[in-house]
Amino acid sequence: MTDDLWGRHRSVLPDWLALYYDRPLEITHGEGRHVWDAAGNRYLDFFGGILTTMTAHALPEVTKAVAEQAGRIVHSSTLYLNRPMVELAERVAQLSGIPDARVFFTTSGTEANDTALLLATTYRRSNTVLAMRNSYHGRSFSAVGITGNRGWSPTSLSPLQTLYVHGGVRTRGPYAALDDRAFIDACVEDLRDLLGHTRPPAALIAEPVQGVGGFTSPPDGLYAAFREVLHERGALWIADEVQTGWGRTGEHFWGWQAHGRSGPPDIVTFAKGIGNGMSVGGVIARSEIMNCLDANSISTFGGTQITMAAGLANLTYLLEHDLQGNARRVGGLLIERLRAAAAQVPAVREVRGRGLMIGIELTRPGTDEAAPEAAAAVLEAAREGGLLIGKGGGHSTSALRIAPPLSLTVAEAEEGAEILEGALRSIA
């Protein structure tokens, strides 16, 4: 019974290990864009295990690749040549846009960002890191130290000196009233001023679209403008593509490409969707940066054969079926449908997003005050209607996060929008 499992969960797992819903859900299996719980209820999945089930649940091409690889060898570590790892690295390097790219595989986005910070601080001989306000980069000690979201940063202790920059949230903060060009100019001037008061930084790390922060993003071109300022000082640009990579934003394969006039980032981190549920993360960097470490290193579980087989099959399916194009087309329809529905709900402050990465921010009607209780109520109502969504946000968890598998159909998008419209109206 799920209630019994919940009690056992609370007996042996940390109190801070968050669960959704007043009555937590045990998901037992999935297929396509749907999952089932232990009671046999069927749900349309608009969150994909936190943007991780990128293509589809139980995708035959991926499950077959995993089963076949498991029948040969599951694991050997990076101490031995690994054909699936080399093949996936070749494909990722080619897709990255980074010249003379090298790829290092990890088991998660947190570990990928840790590695990127190690590379940047070693390469630049600096422990100063710039990060964005409202950002999230993982749960490790160093990743928490660069996370600009109070709700996900349990300690102020850090091995890094972190300075937080304006610009990740377009519609809040001191520059919100400016037009896009003036907003970018103001953020750039603020960055220049900040850099005038500190030692040269190692890097700026930034999510092109802030994930846990509620799917917020700056105007296109902000990070290109930042990069020009960073380049003057030799600092690196790290693009955290853990949630935005692989075509989820629809318009671009990588989120950084919306800011790409100055070329690709120096370092890109990725994870989540590439494994479609298997534990795959990684770092892409120019060879001179990747090779700057002067000590030995290995990865016991990063790049293991079974996860690489899953990643190869998943990436092949994504490219051959143009799921980036599907995210653009179906995501465009979905966001317009949600904007129309939200226009009738006073608690909705904004519907924003790109492709199949959509956020709905809720506030107390007539104010800009966050309404986490409303977001929690919509989450519950959507579940009752047969739809799973996520939540997040910087000021509090008052933004709904919608990120279905990229193979979402138009009919499923309409079905999910109808359920969500009803859930939103239930709080009106």
Instruction: Report pLDDT digits (tens) over 272-299.
Output: 999 999 999 999 999 999 999 999 999 9
Contact 126, 302 (CB under 8 A): no
Chain centroid, CA 208 distance in Å: 9
Residue 406: closest CA among 364, 367, 356, 365 = 356
409 half-sphere exposure, CB direction, 13 A CA radius = 7
Q: Which of 93-102, 140-149, 220-229 has the lowest mean pLDDT?
A: 140-149
End-to-end CA distance of the chain: 34
Contact 381, 21 (CB under 8 A): no
Domains in the chain with CATH codes? 64-320 (3.40.640.10), 322-425 (3.90.1150.10)
User: In the prediction, which pLDDT does 1 show?
Assistant: 56
For β-strands 203-206 and 387-388, DSSP reports them as unpaired
Give the DSSP letter of residue 136: -
Check pLDDT > 70 for residue 388.
yes
Instruction: Report pLDDT digits (tens) over 228-287.
Output: 999 999 999 999 999 999 999 999 999 999 997 778 999 999 999 999 999 999 999 999
User: Which one has a higher pLDDT value, 204 or 18?
Assistant: 204
The pair of structure tokens assigned to 191 is: 């960055």
Give the DSSP letter of residue 209: S
The pair of structure tokens assigned to 64 is: 């077959």
Instruction: Report pLDDT digits (tens) over 24-74.
Output: 999 999 999 999 999 999 999 999 999 999 999 999 999 999 999 999 999
DSSP line for 384-418: HTTEE-EEE-SSSS-EEEE---TT--HHHHHHHHH
CA atoms of 148 and 236, how far apart (whole Å): 19
